[in-house]
Amino acid sequence: MLTVTNLTKIYPGGVLALDRVSFAVPDGQFLAVIGLSGSGKSTLLRCINRLIEPTDGQIIWNEIDITSASEEELRTIRRKIGMVFQHFNLVHRSKVLTNVLAGRLGYINPAWSLINHFPKEDVQKAFRQMDRVGIADKAYQRADELSGGQQQRVGIARALMQDPQLILADEPVASLDPVLAHSIMKILQEINKEDKVTVICSLHFLDLVHRYADRVVALKEGQLVFEGLPEEIDDRKFKEIYGKDAERVG
Amino acid sequence: MNKKSASLWKSFRIGILILAALIVYAYGFQVTKVNLGEFRKESRQESRVRVMRALARPDIFAYQQVETTVVVPLYIPCPAEIPQNTLTDQSQPYLILTPACGKPGEEIKVEGFNFPPNLKGPLYFVPSSDPADKLALQKGNIQADSQGHFVFSFKLPDRLSDQVQYLRVIVRQNVGLPHFSATAIETWNKIIETIFLALLATTIGTLFSIPISFFAARNLMKDVKSSVTQIALSLLGWPFGVFGGLILARWMGEINSLIRANIFFSIGLTAGCALAAYGLLRYAFFHRSGNSSFGWRLIVPQFAQMIAVLLTVQSFFLISQLGIPAGMAIATHLGKMAFLGNFITQLSDLMLTSLPAVLAIGGGAVLGSLFGNLGRKLNERLSIHALKVVDFLLAMLAGALLCLIIAAVIGWLYEIPNLGRFYLIASGLGAILGAVLAGLTKPRQPLPVGLAIYTITRTVLNAVRSIEALIMAIVAVIWVGIGPFAGVLALGLHTIASLAKLYSEQVESISPGPLEAVMATGATRLQTIVYAVIPQIIPPYISFTMYRWDINVRMSTIIGFAGGGGIGFLLIQNINLLNYRAASTQMLAIAIVVAAMDYFSSWMREKYV
Ligand SMILES: Nc1ncnc2c1ncn2[C@@H]1O[C@H](COP(=O)(O)OP(=O)(O)OP(=O)(O)O)[C@@H](O)[C@H]1O
Ligand SMILES: [Mg+2]
């Protein structure tokens, strides 16, 4: 269970990116976060694993207060939270295998990892995860030699290496074509349904929301303006979230 | 009207600007003594021509030379009877004088036959009855034609004698193939020295500047924050750690001197230490810190790690102590490859000298971070009010200690007489500063330590960088004496400063995505650097290192001007001796090496980046 209470983020420039956002996510749920560009979706997701330091509010996950965790505690929390990014955020010049293994960094002995040495089990695990997302044959290629869809699979495999209980996906398919988008979303869905991993995923397209999400929260200018099932987003709600001039596509 | 006055004002302003520029340049001419009169002077022109001609003929090749000396008797004035010339072998070079004698000032024709064709050579008057006399006056140069014949006229000198005197002609003929001149060989040796000087300086600079560059990168440092408790405790931990490290180094040194007696025993011990360290490290590292249950499972690997580190250091001590005699032994037995033995000896000596420093820094870092962790624990456990008091005390203590250390340095540097009082004042001041800091901050408030470190590093780097390597060489010469080692130190230091700056700018410009992704997996800061930063900065680092090597080769060619070894030393010497042909050889060598390096570095950069 993840409970977000009155989460507020004010950026140094004074931008109010999140304004007292509160919601809760039960374990195993696939939650979509929607909203216009600039509404604060990325900020919200990054506040959950404190890549961005919230200004105010509380985030409780499995009875642990993430917002007040010390640096050391934060690392043990983070290693249970996988993250998938819009631009994949792979280390381009490293091999795919190294990128995937990076997901284990929170677990292994720091000193050993400095010389790029991972335990055998971890390497085997990496190959299992790459196999699962369908890129096992690319293990020794450089990450930037892969296509966008393949790169996002690497990103997911990296998140899976963490044995995550929660995956934060920030527009994971926004830079992919529709076909690839579905294949990536299906992988996330499978992880959600089979491994019972909670997924919080920000999305741009409503058809993807309808198809994959169990529940939706909508942000507008940093405020939570909708919380409910995907089917509940009718035309009126849509205009509320996206503004009155918006038109539905797809 | 308005427009017109505006444009008038504009032209007026431009006029003023031009006038100001004129004055500036006039003054510039005045102080830089621009003077074409000097340039046009006869003597200037002469020396200009001489130097340029010398420079145009670098002293690279030389021939084996055969000298042909021909003498002919000469009488001033004519004696009663001229002895008959006995020379009749017409296949050898010979000289004929017409007339064969005369009064001083009389013109006389010298004709030469059978000389080596097309050669030039000096003609001397030998005022002595010994034709081989060293003392001779040069009367001019002869130039033989293609038949080996020449004619030369000169006035008889005012050197009357009733004895016979001589005329002597010397021509030198090149034989065989050209070979490298002594200057060329010397230049070659020095240019090799120069290249290696640059290589060593670049290597040292790179090794040190990589870690420094991370401290000078804003994007890595801006998130490093700690509370007053942490900072104060870590500041307190550092000096004790440094002190502990030094004591440890002394102990280990003493242990070593005890067991030095038997060489086989120390070899065995070294191997044993290294093996034990390796085993312990393996054991310690394979113990996952996965389950964070506190207890012996966590303590034992930590303890093992510590012992392993100590054993490693001990084996380094042993190795370096073995290395000195071993290198000497190799040097005496290897003949031409003796430099390998010397290398081992010097390297071991270097290791032995730097181990205490490494231990001191390591001890400081370990104790500093341990104390820092303690501070974090205190922050979590103590109540706000208790923390406030603890912060006050710790900050005062840390401030006092810090200022005491600074005062000790100042006291030593300026030989301050009344040290006791000086220290008291300094530590009091430090305590007050600490108290003020603690008072101004809330307990647990994160302070931007990272930015402070960043600023200090940047400032120091900029300061060091602004001192030219040539000036550093002057200082280095005082430290280690004239020679290439001083050059290595000076160039190395300059390289550290400038590379660290360039590197850190690269770190600042990496794409933040991977950094964020690796951080999100729960990696430590160091892991994030290794996995997300380093792969991104390798290409620019290689590129900058090559570029710097290029610059260092260039710099090392002139670092010798200040006594820093390399070819510059030779060059400045030859220029001072007005030996322009040799200087020209060295300039040519510099030009070739610099151009080659330029080409090579751009080729490497293209290929590997
Ligand atoms: N580092 C930052 N400093 C200052 N303001 C920022 C920063 N990052 C984001 N913002 C601002 O915060 C607001 C929310 O940004 P955020 O990136 O969370 O939006 P988003 O919903 O993810 O948008 P998009 O769909 O375009 O990714 C925006 O107004 C943005 O300009
Ligand atoms: Mg976003």
SS3 readout for B305-324: HHHHHHHHHHHHHHHHHHHH
Cis peptide before B77 (omega within 30 of 0): yes
**Ligand 1 in contact with A38 (CB < 6 A)?**
yes
Q: Would residue B262 count as lying in a domain?
A: no
How much distance in Å is there from the Cα of A45 to the middle of ligand 2?
9
ipTM: 0.94
Helix axes B580-608, B534-556, angle to 10 degrees: 170
CA distance B276 to B318: 14
B486 lies in the same domain as B593: yes
Cα separations in angstroms, B195 against B549, B550, B557:
9, 10, 9
Q: B410 near B423, Cβ under 8 Å?
A: no
Query: Whose CA is closest to B204, among B463, B562, B499, B598?
Result: B499
Q: Would residue B551 count as lying in a domain?
A: yes
B156 lies in the same domain as B24: no
Which amino acid makes up residue B11? S
**Ligand 1 in contact with A15 (CB < 6 A)?**
yes
Q: Which of B518, B519, B530 sits opposite A114 (nearest CB)?
A: B530
B169 lies in the same domain as B185: no
Residues 289-328 of B with CB under 8 A from A: 289-290, 292, 305
B224-264 residue pLDDT tens: 888 899 999 999 999 999 999 999 999 888 887 777 667 77
Contacts of B285 in chain A (CB under 8 A): 109, 111-112
A15-72 residue pLDDT tens: 999 999 999 999 999 999 999 999 999 999 999 999 999 999 999 999 999 998 888 8
B149 lies in the same domain as B12: no
Number of folded domains in chain B? 3
- From A10, A15, A21, A201, the mutation candidate for ligand 1 (largest count of ligand atoms within 8 A of CB) is A15
Cβ–Cβ of A70/B380 closer than 8 Å? yes
**Among chain A residues, CA nearest to B531:** A102
- List the A64-65 sheet strands across, edge first: A16-25, A2-10, A56-61, A64-65
Which residues are A60's β-sheet partners?
Answer: A3, A65
B27 lies in the same domain as B106: no
B541-575 residue pLDDT tens: 988 998 898 899 888 888 888 888 889 989 999 99
Choose the mutation target among A46, A84, A105 for the interface with B, i.e. most B CBs under 10 Å. A105
- List the B61-74 sheet strands across, edge first: B61-74, B165-180, B120-126, B137-143
B517 lies in the same domain as B609: yes
- Low-confidence residues of chain A, pLDDT below 50? none
CA distance B313 to B489: 26
Domain of B478 in residue numbering reads as 181-208+468-609
Contacts of B531 in chain A (CB under 8 A): 91, 94, 98, 102, 105, 113
Pair of tokens at residue B101: 């004698």
B93 lies in the same domain as B143: yes
B279-298 residue pLDDT tens: 887 776 665 544 444 556 66
CATH number (domain holding residue B546): 1.10.3720.10
B607 lies in the same domain as B472: yes
CA distance B149 to B109: 13
Query: Whose CA is closest to B235, among B391, B341, B455?
Result: B391
Instruction: Give nearest CA residue, ligand 1 atom 22.
Output: A42
Residue B84 has pLDDT above 70, yes or no: no
Q: Would residue B448 count as lying in a domain?
A: no
Q: Would residue B153 count as lying in a domain?
A: yes
Residue B85's pLDDT band (boundaries 50, 70, 90)?
A: low
B472 lies in the same domain as B609: yes
Instruction: Give nearest CA residue, ligand 1 atom 27.
Output: A37
Strand B107-113 versus strand B150-155 pairing type: antiparallel
B86 lies in the same domain as B167: yes
Q: Would residue B241 count as lying in a domain?
A: no
Residue B23's pLDDT band (boundaries 50, 70, 90)?
A: very high
Pair of tokens at residue B591: 């030009």
DSSP per-residue string spanning B139-172: EEEEE--TTS-EEEEEEPPS---SS-EEEEEEEE
Q: Would residue B445 count as lying in a domain?
A: no
pTM above 0.95, yes or no: no
Choose the mutation target among A71, A73, A89 for the interface with B, i.e. most B CBs under 10 Å. A89
Give CA B461 to chain center in angstroms.
17
B609 lies in the same domain as B480: yes
Q: Would residue B526 count as lying in a domain?
A: yes
B74 lies in the same domain as B138: yes
CA distance A219 to chain B (A): 23
Find the length of chain B.
609
For a pLDDT cut of 90, what percent of chain B falls above it? 37
Phi, psi of B225 (to 5 degrees): -135, 145
Is B516 near chain A, with CB under 8 Å? yes
Cβ–Cβ of B522/A85 closer than 8 Å? no
CA distance A77 to A68: 12
Element (H, E) at B113: strand B107-113
Residue B82 has pLDDT above 90, yes or no: no
Q: How much is the pLDDT for B253?
A: 82
Is B517 near chain A, with CB under 8 Å? yes
Q: Would residue B43 count as lying in a domain?
A: no
Domain boundary among B177, B193, B220: B177
Cα separations in angstroms, A132 against A124, B177, B289, B291, B575:
12, 75, 27, 27, 74
Cβ–Cβ of B517/A90 closer than 8 Å? yes
**Domains by residue range for chain A, with CATH:** 27-53+71-242 (3.40.50.300)
Q: A98 near A86, Cβ under 8 Å?
A: no
